[in-house]
Amino acid sequence: MSNNGSFPGNGGPGFGNQQGPQGGSWQSGGQQYPPAGQQAGWGQQNPGQQPPPAWSGAPGQPTPYGQQQYPTQPHYAAQPQYGQGGPQQPWGYPPAQGQNQSPKKSNKAVLGVVGGVVGVALIGGTVYALGRPNPAPAPTVSTSGLSTPTVATAKASDVVSAYLRALGSGDSATALSLAATAPTDTTLLTDAVLAKTTAGKLTDISVPDVAGQATSVTATYSLNGKPVTATFAVTNVGGQYRMAQVAAEVELAAMADVPLKLAGVRPTGDVVSVFPGVYPVTPVNKYYSIGTVSMAVSDTEDVTPDSRTVGLSSAGKSAIVKAANAKWKACLKSHSLRPSGCGFGVRSRSGVKLITSSIKWTKKSGAKWSSAKFKLVAPGLAEAKSAATVHFYARDARVSGRYWFKDVKLQGVSALIGSSKVSVTFY
């Protein structure tokens, strides 16, 4: 059609053997196609015009660790109208983390009143444990909220030796009972976690005898085959020594901007308490990957791990390709001028009515989603450039034998990644 709305006398879309409108606007006879060199389709880009990017939003502030961490709806730039790079022209012509918590430092000073009460419990517990010929009972909780040690810890070196041996044997209860101040978060301070991280891996323990009013003890041991020398702070509570701190605090949120698991356990906050050990680290969402990562915590000093780059796992890539193939199949089956999320479409114009059931979209080239190189561009959003061309065809509802057609180009695909589902859109 010309810019004033009339049909061109030459080069219009072909349509069977029907006679065209009066005035020679449509060619009669066999099918007529545009002459060589003339483009007869919608959605072509203006010369030199660059298509807008599919996504231009920046990631938001990191979600507090431990909460569902998926992106808020990503901000997209204005996308081309249904596969076009510029304004649509008339047909047939080219267009013109629980809340964040600050790391809690263990209080190495024990209040006098608490110390006095605990001391009585400790002395009683120690005499009871030593006086029984049978193995010591499991630790109990005193009225002060602290567990009663099941071993004598009259010297500073005694408590450090008992603590390290408890870790090496996977006995979390004994290790916790030796604390002067009980950790507030015990999510990962369990036998099950020790079995994966420390039990059998903390060996060759050597603690020199330390008597007198000592406040620290230096010990040597091997952790996963690597030698460690560490100094532990201790405190005297009612004549028995206790560890000033039995667990290190790890700022896990510093490692990645997606939720992580340590030794298969998902922490409840950004900062997590752990015993010394070697902890495998994996993303909570199976669609993400941070590579093969293990975090070594050699003693009870607090840890801020190095950050890791988050990418797509093989499961994530497979899920995206599967979702893209399913979406593409649905797009091509659509009888809509503008299929939702398909990245292609044509604009209707006044005076033209099409037979809806005749609308057909077919792949002309590209659309090889399995070979697309998807990259994680923000938490919860992956993209890939992958060109494709689709062909549009529809019959005119008012003029028998007239049909309309158009080739439309696509640039790529975007994928929104949820906890168990991936959804895609084309652009």
Query: Tens digits of per-residue pLDDT, 142-195?
Result: 334 455 666 789 999 999 999 999 999 999 999 999 999 999 999 999 999 999
Per-residue CA distances from 235 to 128, 249, 253 (Å): 22, 19, 31
Write the pLDDT tens digit of every residue in 249-260: 999 989 999 999
Strands 381-395 and 403-417: antiparallel
d(CA 202, CA 42): 70
195-201 average pLDDT score: 95
d(CA 29, CA 20): 9
Q: Which pLDDT value is given to residue 106?
A: 41
Q: Which pLDDT value is given to residue 250?
A: 95
pTM of the model: 0.61
- For residue 77, what are its two tokens? 């730039």
Q: Which of 186, 179, 276 is nearest to 234 (CA)?
A: 179
d(CA 79, CA 292): 38
List the chain domain ranges: 81-99+313-426, 107-244
Helix (H) or strand (E) holding 324: helix 314-333
Q: Which pLDDT value is given to residue 152?
A: 82
- For residue 395, what are its two tokens? 């019959």
Report the alpha-carbon angle 186-188-190, nearest 5. Answer: 80
Burial class (CB in 10 A: 0-12, 13-18, 19+), 265: middle
Residue 289 has pLDDT above 60, yes or no: yes
Q: Which pLDDT value is given to residue 277?
A: 97
Q: Which pLDDT value is given to residue 148?
A: 65
- For residue 261, what are its two tokens? 């698991």
b/e sequence 376-412, b meaning 16+ C-beta within 10 Å: bbbbbbbbbebebbbbbebbbeeeebbbbbbbbbbbb
Per-residue CA distances from 316 to 138, 284, 380, 419 (Å): 45, 13, 11, 11
Provide the pLDDT confidence category of residue 348 given band limits of 50, 70 and 90: confident
Burial class (CB in 10 A: 0-12, 13-18, 19+), 53: middle
- For residue 54, what are its two tokens? 């599919």
Write the pLDDT tens digit of every residue in 53-78: 433 333 344 444 344 444 444 443 44
Provide the pLDDT confidence category of residue 223 given band limits of 50, 70 and 90: very high
Helix (H) or strand (E) holding 234: strand 226-237
Q: Which pLDDT value is given to residue 185?
A: 92
User: φ and ψ at 425, to 5 degrees?
Assistant: -135, 150
